[in-house]
Amino acid sequence: MNIPLIIDHLSIAYRSAWTGTKTTVIDDISFTIHPGQAVGYLGINGAGKTSTIKAILGLIKQGSGSITLFGIPSSKTKARALIGYLPEQPYWYENLTVEETISFYGALFDLSADESLKRAHTLLERLNLSTKLHAKIKTLSKGLMQRVGLIQALINEPKLLILDEPFSGLDPLARKLFKDILLEQQQKGVAMMISSHILPDIEALCDRAIIIHNQRIQADCDMQTLSEKHQSLETLFTSIAGPVTP
Amino acid sequence: MMMRSLTAQTTITIKEILRGGSIIGFMLTWLLLLITATAFGTVSIGERMYVIKDFGLFLTTLAVLALTISAGASILAKEIRQKHLYTVLSKPVSRFSYLASKLLGIWISGLVLNLTLHLALCCYVYLLEGSWQPTLLINTLFLAMEGLIMAACCLLIASLFVTPMLVGLVSILIFIAGRNLDSITALLEARDVGPLLHSLLSLVQSLMPRLYLLNIVNDLTYAIMPSAAAALHATIYGFSYATACFILSLYVFSRRDFT
């Protein structure tokens, strides 16, 4: 019941509206994320990472298999009540201010504007956004928008964080801040699924890595074992996904 | 939980539409065209009044429906293209609540323009003629129902097609067909139009909204008031047709993948 995420024999296929041709993106994958566990979900571009995340979030209907969030099928709306999601690109309403954005995402979890801002207060301070509360989203840089994204992902005090390229567009200082905040969340028992191309970040944050290639899981290893074997995540990733070709 | 979420989403939709700037454009165009019509309508004192009322109500209808169709045609496509929908639907938000907020947001934005322009028209008539014409405000109800139907139609088309231009074009065709449904009925009854065209026109006749029933501009121009029964019928018809369209759009939207 309390297991944040169980994916059981999930397959995802897209069908072309014109030709009817079926393209398999994910083929029969299964894994579980336990409370407090941080899992790096890795793969080359087009490997199916974002499709898996979208299936978890109910944005695409999986072809077959099941996804369970805290014991509830992911197709149910209430299954997403304990999830925090940070997308790869900042997809916020451009004409809203930072304050309105935070209040809006809080309201989706039935939080009043005051409650949302109260919850976001510490994060706003830490992420240097407290002076930008009345700035419109469209005036912010990509890095600042990503900070707003992290705040909205944490507004409901989630038990499972799904982060798609969380460090995209961040300067080194902001990356350090993000990592610190995420480590604190992990210490609180929040489970995390992080999709990223920056392998050292995954090594620093995650205690497990899943590598997906050719639509299937090719490796599911914990960082401890990897370290004991004196193997880096990059070596493992390259051996699975193949060397970079010019 | 759903009420606060629905209210927040509806408010965001209204803010996005109102802050988009098109509403100001519609208001300025409305005023400019009305002043132009006044200048050309000064044939005689009596006629000027009719021209202003007729043209003013016509322009108001056009502005409200143009805002509704443009917002209805673009909002869903924009939300998908700019991926706002991803961050909203990844929260405990049902597709019903998401779509309902879009429908309410578009309708309420149209309603704001509807009331503003009708009040402005009453003031304009007062300034020129020195008499209040509050009966013109009755058109707000009929236009609100027409706006609701068109907003629901737009959402239905937008849940089927992704191109805003196509959604807008189909919606305009629905509006034209709906406004001329009485002529289509008359054509079907009066002439032998051939089996294929007859089937096509019969299909249009049975599916399209009966918008001509909601058009009371001519009557109001000549101070003919709609009956309470007509107002009630318009309200029931507007909500019923919009609900049917909404259920269909929800059926399509709920099955849609956002890849």
The domain locations on chain B are 2-254
pLDDT (0 to 100) of residue B46: 63
Kindly report, residue by residue over A70-104, the tens digit of the pLDDT: 999 998 999 999 999 998 877 788 888 999 999 99
Tokens of A105: 């995402």
pLDDT cut 70: percent of chain A above it = 97
Contact A57 B86 (CB under 8 A): yes
pLDDT (0 to 100) of residue A63: 74
Contact A78 B90 (CB under 8 A): no
Contact A93 B93 (CB under 8 A): no
Tokens of B136: 């013109």
pLDDT (0 to 100) of residue B45: 57
Over residues A178-200, mean pLDDT: 93
pLDDT (0 to 100) of residue B110: 96
Kindly report, residue by residue over B120-132, the tens digit of the pLDDT: 999 998 998 888 8
pLDDT (0 to 100) of residue B1: 56
Mean of all residue pLDDT scores within chain B = 89
Over residues B145-167, mean pLDDT: 93
CATH superfamily of the A5-241 domain: P-loop containing nucleotide triphosphate hydrolases (3.40.50.300)
| Contacts across the A-B interface (CB distance below 8 Å) | 84
Cα angle at B250 between B245 and B251, to 5 degrees?
100
Over residues B145-160, mean pLDDT: 95
pLDDT cut 70: percent of chain B above it = 97
Rounded to a whole number of angstroms, the distance from the CA of A87 to the nearest CA of chain B is 7
- The H or E element that residue A83 is part of is strand A83-86
- Residue A78 sits at the chain B interface (C-beta within 8 Å): yes
What is the distance of C-alpha A196 from the center of its chain? Answer: 9
Q: What share of chain A is helix, strand, coil (3-state, %, to 5)?
A: 40, 25, 35
Instruction: State yes or no: pLDDT of B43 exceeds 80.
Output: no
Contact A60 B5 (CB under 8 A): no
Instruction: Give dist(CA B97, CA B60) in Å, integer.
Output: 30
Mean of all residue pLDDT scores within chain A = 89
For A59-63, A120-124, B43-47, B125-129, which range has the lowest pLDDT when averaged over its residues? B43-47
Helix ranges restricted to H, B82-210: 84-89, 95-129, 139-160, 164-179, 181-190, 195-207
pLDDT (0 to 100) of residue B51: 83
